[in-house]
Amino acid sequence: MVELFTSQGCANCPPADALLTELTRRGDLVTLTFPVDYWDYLGWKDTAAKPEFTARQKAYAARRGDHDVYTPQVVVDGETRLVGSDRDGIHREIERGEGDGTLGVAVDLDAGGDGLRVRLPEAATPGGPVHATVWLVRFEESRTVTIGRGENTGRTLTYSHLVRSLQPIGMWKGKAVTIELPRQEGPTPGDVGCAVLVQSDKDGLPGRILGARLCTPAKI
């Protein structure tokens, strides 16, 4: 699970945006791009940024206790932060996660005609109380933006799995649970996909990603 916090107004971000696109093409990762808004004052207002994405990045920093917030920043499996363009470091962290089975909760999804059904199993091994939030993420598969002002003036940048919304849809406390959502009515512009995340939390702060799964694009 790889999250990139980026900004259209940050001159250091384009290499990280390109790397995230490469990782998305692998097909064995859940990758998400979260545009943040704290560089908007530099002369270009990010056209995809939302305050809640900035809040998510700051919440990660608060949970780690380092208050280290910058762009481009990658967070792997909800825990490890790296510079978003650090190709070698990010690949090492992904490989480490694959070796220790970090994402241990199998997320079963059924995007049928009437909506989305999420099934989570009972915790495989007892390890004390489990408290996790189940998130539904809607994202654009790809968006290309031409930057008119600021540090990236004149550049045309492409983003992959560009998050539109992050919505809590339930809780998981270690017991088998099924969460059902109705199909969204009305037109959905753009090529929209979704992902379901199971993320541990404590005192309202996001922690380790316990499970993640991409949905097929649908009006969910």
Q: Is the pLDDT of residue 195 over 80?
A: yes
Q: Residues 17, 144: contact at Cβ < 8 Å?
A: no
User: One-letter amino acid identity for 196?
Assistant: V
Which residue in the block uniquely carries the two structure tokens 């998510």?
Answer: 56
CA nearest to 146, candidates 5, 50, 31, 44: 44
Q: Is the pLDDT of residue 118 over 70?
A: yes
pLDDT value at residue 188:
53
* Backbone conformation region of residue 77, classed left if phi is above 0, alpha if psi is from -120 to 50, else beta: left
Q: How far apart are CA 80 and CA 106, in angstroms?
A: 21
The full length of the chain comes to 220
Pairing state of beta strands 192-202 and 205-215?
Answer: antiparallel
Q: What is the mean pLDDT of residues 163-179?
A: 95
Q: What angle, 0 to 180 degrees and rounded to 10, lies between the N-to-C axes of helices 14-26 and 87-100?
A: 30
Which residue in the block uniquely carries the two structure tokens 């996909």?
Answer: 193
pLDDT value at residue 186:
52
Q: Is the pLDDT of residue 191 over 50?
A: yes
pLDDT value at residue 219:
46
Q: Is the pLDDT of residue 216 over 80?
A: no
CA nearest to 172, candidates 216, 119, 217: 119
Q: What is the mean pLDDT of residues 182-186?
A: 69
Summarised one tens digit per residue, pLDDT across range 142-162 is 999 999 999 999 999 999 999
CA nearest to 133, candidates 219, 206, 46, 60: 206
Q: What domains does the chain contain, in order, with CATH numbers?
A: 2-215 (2.60.40.10)
Summarised one tens digit per residue, pLDDT across range 11-29 is 999 999 999 999 999 989 9
The residues pairing with 7 across neighbouring beta strands, listed in sequence order, are: none
Summarised one tens digit per residue, pLDDT across range 36-50 is 999 999 999 999 999
Confidence class for position 101, pLDDT limits 50, 70, 90: low
Mean pLDDT score of the chain, rounded to an integer? Answer: 91
- The values of phi and psi at residue 92, to 5°, are -60, -40
* Backbone conformation region of residue 63, classed left if phi is above 0, alpha if psi is from -120 to 50, else beta: alpha
Which of 23-32, 86-95, 177-186, 200-209 shows the lowest mean pLDDT across its residues?
177-186
Rg (CA), the chain: 17
Q: Is the pLDDT of residue 187 over 50?
A: no
Instruction: Evaluate the CA torsion angle 41, 44, 50, 56 in order and state its sign.
Output: negative
Q: Is the pLDDT of residue 97 over 50?
A: yes
Note the pTM of the prediction, 2 decimals.
Answer: 0.93
Cite the DSSP H helix spans in the chain.
Answer: 14-26, 51-64, 87-100
